[in-house]
Amino acid sequence: MAEHIITFDNDTPPVTAQTGTLLSEVIQGAAMTLNQPCGGQGRCGRCAVRVTGGTVRSRSTLRLSAEDVAAGYVLACQAVVESDAAISIPPQEKIERLLTTDLVSAEVEVPAGYDPRKAQNVRRVTLTLPPPTMDDQTDDWNRLLTALRQQADFGTVQASLEQIQGLGGVLREGDWQVTATLDAERWDCPGCPARLIDLKPGHTASEMPLWGIAVDIGTTTVTLWLVDLLTGKVMAQVAEYNGQIARGEDVISRVIYAGKNNGAAELRDLVLTTINTLLDTACKRVQAQPADVVKVVISGNSVMMHLLLNIRADSIRLSPFVTAINDIPTLAGREVGLNTHPAATVDCLPGVASYVGADITAGVLSSGLIDTEAVTLFIDMGTNGETVLGNRDWLVTCACSAGPAFEGGGVLDGMRATKGAIEEVWINGTTFEPTFRVIGGVKPRGLCGSALIALLAEMSLTGVMDKGGHINTHRDHPRIRTGEHGPEYVVAWANETAHNRDIVITNVDIDNLIRAKAAIYAGFSVLAERVGVPLETAEQVLIGGSFGKYINVEKAVEIGLLPDMPWENFHFLGNTSVRGAYLALLDREARARIQASAARMTYIELSADNTFYDAFTSALFLPHTDLSRFPSVQAAIVS
């Protein structure tokens, strides 16, 4: 058998190899380490190397993009030597970037051409007032109004009693130099007078930020972005579990809880505490004060919105499922209970119906669905599993209770995607040993959504569990054991973790995850069926959700969470709800567009007949009972 010489682009001396030798073996034989988390099965893509000279035969290029292949990349575990060859071994980070299926959520970019003077209804102006004299005994308020008219073009202005009470002091303290912040056009009242939000002595430097916040109140996670309204830049992003979780994991439990005794007030306090704490944290990062925040845009599902404002929500849960209000008028920070400026403008975005709230209308805007001609599937992988299908002409939407599993809720070692969370896992198909990556590169504390998706895929593919999600306890392996919650798989041993406890995934967790993914898949597949638009005809799939910074599309398809389509059709947008709130925070037009999309949206009630239930049980399997819906997974299983 022919021998070939393999050379490397680093200091490693050349080695010889026979025809048919796996490149991975050659590299290891040359005493180099090569990451093979999947155990050399061509599944993880971590052993990609570049062939710069000679030829190798590639058995599989799964997980490499066409461009990568064109550039000479191969998977070392799937490529065999056929001639002399020169191999370039990229550093590990480069491989990470190579993985075509890891979709990282897009960075926040300030909308092109953002001009606060045109788009922003909240404005800060510095004024110099002529001091009163014996000849000019104009009252303080009219003196201010005159300056506002002459120097900033404000016709009429409203103020609160409190502001008028403080007026004389502020004018004199600043020696007739003041900075006023006004809301020039309340969204719900275009012809109304401008409203004074804040009046400060002295002139605030024009480069000082003008603070606003965009808030998404998720059932499981609350996200807050602190934004400089002058530049449009997001200066801090923070997120935390919604404090209401302790009173029920899903919207229904919360509504029921709110209906009892003091429940509504308690739930309102809990979410306010969460928001105010996040506000505090975000402000500390940029040395600002919560009270400096003069504009707030809030997005969230209808129940969250009702509970925040302590509006009765019972009718949302009971047939015929109506909200008290979908489109809430402008409020002020103090009446909502926020620690922002007491007079800050608070805009709660409009929803469509009980189970299609502002989070979805905001998502439709920020995802671009509202503008596209292409039939688009937009999936919000949140607790309520909302899906929107359509394009700029028509939109249908549904919701299904997916639960908090993909945000780490209801999972024994689940956590949010923050530092210390395992975010990616591979399991070696021969040894059943896992390899994982932790956010922040520290010792792990738990598993976030993307790791849970990966675990389901890997455990199923390697036979650690069967396709029904039952861990195979017949397999004799120290990581597969029966714990107090039944069968479980140990992802990290106590001595590897930050809290010195084993990190495990239990059969109960797996059941919850499979139910969550089944609900989401059944939701959008039934939605598509109901309107008579086959899923395959969707030209793109937009994914929103607050479960992490990225989603591994391949694994999400492998477990049957996402439909089996070319990977380039998927776009992961991260938290689309807070993005929508952010856009509305910057641009008053954005809000009008959200309202317009809300009017066009048709809500489909999934529980009207058995089809959802049927689709759901069909999806309670990995990837799906009907494998023909997942041809690429079928091919992978066969190989």
Partner 1 sequence: MALSGIQIYKMLPQTNCKDCGFPTCLAFAMKLAAKQVELSSCPHVAEDAKAQLSEASEPPVRLVSLKANGHEVKAGNEVVMFRHEKTFYNKPGLFLRVKDSQPAGEIQAAIAEADGYCVNYVGRDLTLDGFAVEAVSGDAAVFAAAIAAVRQASHRPLILISTDPAMIAAGLRAVDGENPLIYGANTGNWQAMADLAKQHHASLAVIAESLDELADLTEKVKEAGVKDIVLDPAARNLSRSLALNTQIRRLALKKNFRPLGYPLISFPGEGGDPAQESVMAVHAITKYAGFIVLDHFAAETAYPLLVLRENIYTDPQKPIQVQPDVYEINTPGPDDPVLVTTNFSITYFSVANEIEGSGIPAWLVVTDAEGMSVLTAWAAGKFDAERIAKTIKSFNIADKVNRKRIVIPGHVAVLSGELEEELPDWEIRVGPREAIDLPSFIKQVL
Partner 2 sequence: MAVEIPKDSWAGSVRVVTLGATPADGGTRSHTIMIGGQNTLPFMHFEKPTPHRPVIAVEIKDRRPEDWSGLLLDIWGDAANDPAAWAKQAEVAGADMLVLALTLTAADGNPTTPSMAVEAVKAVLAASKLPLIVLGPGQADADNELLVPVAEATKGERLALGLCEDKNYRTIVAAAMANDHCVVARTPMDVNLAKQLNILIHDMGLPLDRIVMDPTTGALGYGIEYGYSVMERLRLAALQGDAMTQLPMMVTPGFEAWKTKESKFGQDVPGTWGNWEERAINWETLTAMTLVESGADVVVLRHPESVRRVHQAITDLMTVPETV
Where on the chain is the footprint of partner 1 (CB under 8 A)? 248, 252-253, 256, 317-319, 393-394, 396, 401, 530-533, 599-604, 607, 609-611
Q: Of 97, 172, 419, 470, which one interacts with partner 2 (CB under 8 A)?
A: 470
Cβ-based neighbours of 312, under 8 Å, separated by 6 or more: 258, 264, 306, 324
Q: Return the number of the residue (200 or 467) whose C-beta is nearest partner 2.
A: 467
Q: Which does 60 bind (CB under 5 to 8 A by kind): partner 2, partner 1, none?
A: none
Residues in contact with partner 2, shown as a per-residue x/- string from 576 to 615 under the rule CB under 8 A: --------------------------------------x-
Q: Of 466, 568, 589, 609, which one interacts with partner 2 (CB under 8 A)?
A: 466
Q: Quick check: 542 and 433 in contact, CB under 8 A?
A: no
Q: How far apart are CA 225 and CA 504, in angstroms?
A: 33
Q: Return the number of the residue (420 or 623) whose C-beta is nearest partner 2.
A: 623
Q: Return the number of the residue (380 or 488) whose C-beta is nearest partner 2.
A: 488
Return the structure tokens found at 421.
């969370």
Cβ-based neighbours of 182, under 8 Å, separated by 6 or more: 122, 123, 125, 148, 154, 157, 194, 195, 196, 197
Q: Return the number of the residue (46 or 530) whose C-beta is nearest partner 1.
A: 530
Q: Which does 468 bind (CB under 5 to 8 A by kind): partner 2, partner 1, none?
A: partner 2
Cβ-based neighbours of 621, under 8 Å, separated by 6 or more: 467, 468, 469, 514, 560
Q: Return the number of the residue (159 or 619) whose C-beta is nearest partner 2.
A: 619
Q: Does 524 bind partner 2 (CB under 8 A)?
A: no
CA 486 to the chain's CA centroid: 32
Q: Does 419 bind partner 2 (CB under 8 A)?
A: no
Cβ-based neighbours of 101, under 8 Å, separated by 6 or more: 45, 63, 552, 553, 554, 555, 567
CA 288 to the chain's CA centroid: 25
Q: Does 620 bind partner 2 (CB under 8 A)?
A: yes
Q: Return the number of the residue (189 or 596) whose C-beta is nearest partner 1.
A: 596
Amino acid in the structure at residue 213: I
Q: Does 626 bind partner 2 (CB under 8 A)?
A: yes
Binding-residue total with partner 2 (CB under 8 A): 15
Q: Return the number of the residue (20 or 463) whose C-beta is nearest partner 2.
A: 463
Alpha carbon distances (Å) from 201 to 128, 211, 283, 295, 438: 10, 18, 22, 20, 49
Q: Return the number of the residue (355 or 521) whose C-beta is nearest partner 2.
A: 521
| H or E segment to which residue 394 belongs | none
**Nearest approach, Cβ of 41 to partner 2 (angstroms)?**
17
Q: Of 259, 468, 534, 631, which one interacts with partner 2 (CB under 8 A)?
A: 468
Q: Which does 635 bind (CB under 5 to 8 A by kind): partner 1, partner 2, none?
A: none
Q: Return the number of the residue (371 or 614) whose C-beta is nearest partner 2.
A: 614
Q: Quick check: 449 and 417 in contact, CB under 8 A?
A: yes
Segments of 153-230 assigned E as strands? 157-158, 177-183, 194-201, 211-217, 221-228
Q: Which does 431 bind (CB under 5 to 8 A by kind): partner 2, partner 1, none?
A: none
Segments of 271-413 assigned E as strands? 293-300, 331-332, 345-348, 376-380, 387-390, 395-398
Q: Return the number of the residue (123 or 530) whose C-beta is nearest partner 1.
A: 530
**Nearest approach, Cβ of 327 to partner 1 (angstroms)?**
14
Q: Return the number of the residue (291 or 375) whose C-beta is nearest partner 1.
A: 375
Q: Which does 618 bind (CB under 5 to 8 A by kind): partner 1, partner 2, none?
A: partner 2
Query: For residues 120-149, b (16+ Cβ closer than 10 Å) or e, as one string?
Result: bbbbbbbbebeeeeeeeeeebeebbbebbe
**Nearest approach, Cβ of 455 to partner 2 (angstroms)?**
19
Q: Return the number of the residue (287 or 610) whose C-beta is nearest partner 2.
A: 610
Q: Of 437, 443, 467, 600, which one interacts with partner 2 (CB under 8 A)?
A: 467
Q: How far apart are CA 473 and CA 206, in angstroms?
A: 67
Q: Quick check: 313 and 321 in contact, CB under 8 A?
A: no
**Nearest approach, Cβ of 523 to partner 2 (angstroms)?**
16
Q: Does 536 bind partner 2 (CB under 8 A)?
A: no
Q: How far apart are CA 488 and CA 466, in angstroms?
A: 13
H helices of 286-342, where?
302-308, 314-317, 333-336
**Nearest approach, Cβ of 59 to partner 2 (angstroms)?**
24
Q: Which does 639 bind (CB under 5 to 8 A by kind): partner 2, partner 1, none?
A: none
Ramachandran region, residue 113 (left: φ > 0; alpha: ψ -120 to 50; beta: rest): left
Counts of helices then strands in the chain (DSSP H, E): 19, 29
Q: Which does 28 bind (CB under 5 to 8 A by kind): partner 2, partner 1, none?
A: none
Which span (194-202, 252-260, 374-382, 616-624) binds partner 2, by CB under 8 A?
616-624
Q: Which does 291 bind (CB under 5 to 8 A by kind): partner 2, partner 1, none?
A: none
Q: Does 617 bind partner 2 (CB under 8 A)?
A: yes
Longest distance between any two alpha carbons in the chain, whole Å: 110
Q: Which does 626 bind (CB under 5 to 8 A by kind): partner 1, partner 2, none?
A: partner 2
Q: Of 73, 432, 524, 621, which one interacts with partner 2 (CB under 8 A)?
A: 621
Q: Which does 530 bind (CB under 5 to 8 A by kind): partner 1, partner 2, none?
A: partner 1
Q: Which of positions 472-491 make contact with partner 2 (CB under 8 A)?
A: 472, 474
Q: Which does 4 bind (CB under 5 to 8 A by kind): partner 1, partner 2, none?
A: none
How many other CB atoms sit within 10 Å of the CB of residue 628? Answer: 8
Q: How far apart are CA 47 and CA 24, in angstroms?
A: 8
**Nearest approach, Cβ of 503 to partner 1 (angstroms)?**
24
Applying CB under 8 A, which residues contact partner 2? Answer: 466-468, 470, 472, 474, 614, 617-618, 620-621, 625-628
